[in-house]
Amino acid sequence: MSWLTAEEALQALKTKPQTLYANVSRGRIRAKPDPADPRRSLYQAADVQRLAERHAGRRKAETVAAETIRWGDPVLSSAISTIIEGRLFYRGRDAADFADTATLEQTAALLWNGAEALSSGTTGENTSPSLQTAFLALAGRVTTDLPSLGRSQAALRREAHGVLSTVSDALAPGLPDRPLHLRLAESWQRPQAADCLRRALVLLADHELNASTFTARVTASAGAALSATVLSGLATLTGPLHGAAWQGVDALIEATIAVGAEQALRRTLAQGNSVAAFGHPLYPDGDIRASALLGYFPLPSKFAELREAGEAMIGEKVNVDFALAAMAAAFDLPREAPIIIFSLARSVGWLAHAMEQVESGELIRPRARYAGPAPETVTRR
Residues 215 and 353 placed together within one structural domain of the fold: yes
Alpha carbon separation from 87 to 25, 26, 207, 363 (Å, rounded): 10, 10, 11, 30
Does residue 68 carry a pLDDT above 80? no
pTM over 0.75: yes
pLDDT of amino acid 125: 60
Could you say which of 145, 207, 321, 353 is catalytic? 321
CATH number of the domain that residue 305 is part of = 1.10.230.10
88 in any annotated domain: no
From the list 280, 287, 332, 353, the catalytic residue is 280
Q: Are residues 212 and 249 in the same domain?
A: no
Asked if residue 122 and residue 214 are part of one domain, the reply reads yes
Q: Per-residue pLDDT averaged across 327-352, rounded?
A: 97
> Rounded to the nearest 5°, which phi and psi values hold at 367?
-95, 155
The pLDDT-based confidence of 357 (bands split at 50, 70, 90) is: very high
% of the chain beyond a pLDDT of 70: 90
Phi-psi region of 174 (alpha: psi -120 to 50; beta: other; left: phi over 0): left
Q: How many percent of the chain have pLDDT more than 90?
A: 64
Mean pLDDT of 29-43: 84
Check whether residue 113 and residue 150 sit in a common domain.
yes
Q: Of the ranges 119-123, 164-168, 283-287, which is most confident?
A: 164-168
Q: Is residue 138 within 8 Å of residue 169, measured between CB atoms? A: no
Report how many domains make up the chain: 3
Name, of 13-22, 75-84, 343-352, the range with top average pLDDT: 343-352
Convert the pLDDT of each residue in 87-111 to its tens digit.
999 999 999 999 999 999 999 999 9
* Phi-psi region at 279: left, alpha or beta (left = phi > 0; alpha = psi -120 to 50): left
Q: Report d(CA 306, CA 358) in Å as an integer.
A: 44
pLDDT beyond 80 at 77: yes
Residue 376 within any structural domain of the chain? no
pLDDT confidence of residue 127: 80
Is 55 part of the annotated catalytic residue set?
Answer: no
Residue 179 lies inside a defined structural domain of this protein: yes
User: Does 123 share its domain with 230?
Assistant: yes
Are 23 and 115 members of one domain? no
Same domain for 287 and 313, yes or no, is yes
321 part of the active site = yes
Angle formed at CA 301 by CA 299 and CA 303, multiple of 5 degrees: 65
Residues 221 and 298 in one domain: no
Residue 74 has pLDDT above 70, yes or no: no
Whether 378 is covered by a domain: the verdict is no
Last residue of a domain, one of 309, 330, 351: 330
Same domain, 26 and 141: no
Average pLDDT over every residue of 322-337? 97
pLDDT at 370 over 80: yes
Question: Is residue 305 domain-resident?
Answer: yes
Range of the domain at 50: 3-68
Quote the pLDDT of residue 71: 59
Q: Do 144 and 250 fall within a single domain?
A: no
On average, the pLDDT of the chain sits at 89
Across 199-209, average pLDDT: 97
Question: Is residue 80 situated within a structural domain?
Answer: no
Considering the domain architecture, whether residues 123 and 219 belong to the same structural domain is answered as: yes
Q: Is residue 86 part of a domain?
A: no
Q: Point out the domain boundary residue: 19, 48, 68.
A: 68
How confident is the model over 102-131, as a mean pLDDT? 79
Most confidently modeled range among 69-73, 82-86, 201-205:
201-205
Distance CA 356, CA 221 (A): 10
Rounded Cα gap, residues 129 and 10, in angstroms: 51
Average pLDDT over residues 212-228: 97
Convert the pLDDT of each residue in 233-281 to its tens digit: 999 999 988 888 888 999 999 999 999 999 999 998 888 877 889 999 8
Same domain, 43 and 103: no
